[in-house]
Amino acid sequence: MTKVPPLADLLDSMHVVSIPMQVRFRGVMHREIAVFSGPSGWGEFSPFLEYAAPEASRWLAAAIDAAWQSWPSAVRHTVPVNATVPAVAAADVPAVLARYDGCGTAKVKVAEAGQSLADDLDRVAAVRETMGAAAKVRIDANGGWSVDDAAAAITRLSAYDLEYAEQPCASVEELVDLRKALARNGIDVPIAADESIRKATDPLRVARMGAADIAVVKVAPLGGVASALSIAADAGLPTVVSSAVDSSVGIAAGLALAAALPDLPHACGLATLELMAGDVVGDSLVPQSGSIEVRRPEPSTELLHEYRANPERTAWWRQRVTDCHAHLTA
């Protein structure tokens, strides 16, 4: 476990930014992020606003890991990445995909609250039409379906040749039941687990119960690069590294994990800066010809100033770091 530095060391070097989103994300149009520096570089702390200290403290552990520890050796220097298509109207799909340079894989959000399966079908159809038959298309339901709804939806969406379906149901037990239902119906769409790994007290339960074919791993909620790498190895499943709509500081940690994995059979979900209208570094970690170079850019003083959060939100984040630090040191 990473040694937790004194709280003052975190707060003294912390910058809080509020970066506009290109599209609405988790109900907000600004992504709030805290970054701070340590002896090894910069770390990012950006748990979603609704997360309480017990869950958010794992994100703080990951930020501390980035700023105070060394990352494992890389076995590759670039990481293939996917485009991400939010739950937009089908007509908006080409404009979203145009932001991603050379990506041959797309992850499409489905099961959005207030939308229907018809909306999902139209969106996935638009992605397939825009990208062509050779592209890989995966869907992400964020646990939004029941087993029956997931089986019905995936059966219909499978007409668009899905690479896999990410977190179609919320619980591990439901994922097990869904895989059985799909097999009975002759639907050959692999299942990937995300929330069932990153939000679980036992992230390896998915693998033990045979609930997924693929593990989606995020550095921040799993406590850092070394911890996430260990979980990926112990799970023994093909791994996709994803971000949580981070700045380039957070994406650099995801790239470090993806670069250290022995095998990387799928494109990773690390090209999420295209969803944002800004960044804290001048040379952002964005795809070129479908991949991102493994490197670690540093925040720009000018950009930290340009996107700095207002005093009220900065105070809120300072208190959040204080609460999470207390949880880590308890």
Binding residues for Mg(2+): 140, 166, 194
- Rounded to whole angstroms, the Cα distance separating 147 from 275 reads 30
Rg (CA), the chain: 19
**CA dist., res. 266 & res. 11, Å (int):** 38
According to DSSP H, which parts of 190-279 are helical?
A: 195-198, 205-208, 225-235, 248-260
Q: How far is CA 79 from CA 103, 137, 257, 294, 298, in A?
A: 11, 18, 10, 7, 19
Question: Any catalytic annotation for residue 3?
Answer: no
Query: Cα 153 to the chain's mean position, in Å?
Result: 23
d(CA 231, CA 151): 28
Q: CA 164 to CA 154: how far, in whole Å?
A: 10
Q: Are 153 and 159 in contact (CB under 8 A)?
A: no
Residues 172 and 199: beta-carbon distance below 8 Å? no
Cite the annotated binding site by residue number.
Answer: 140, 166, 194
Coil, helix or strand at residue 91: helix
First to last CA, the chain: 14
DSSP code at position 203: T
Q: How far apart are CA 38 and CA 27, in angstroms?
A: 32
Task: Please pick, among 3, 107, 109, 199, the residue that the annotation labels catalytic.
Answer: 109
| The pair of three-digit structure tokens given for residue 318, joined into one six-digit string | 């300072």
109 catalytic residue (yes or no): yes
Phi, psi of 176 (to 5 degrees): -60, -50
Measured CA distances, 206 to 63, 181, 198, 224, 234 (Å): 25, 17, 11, 20, 11
User: Would you name the residues annotated as active-site residues?
Assistant: 109, 218
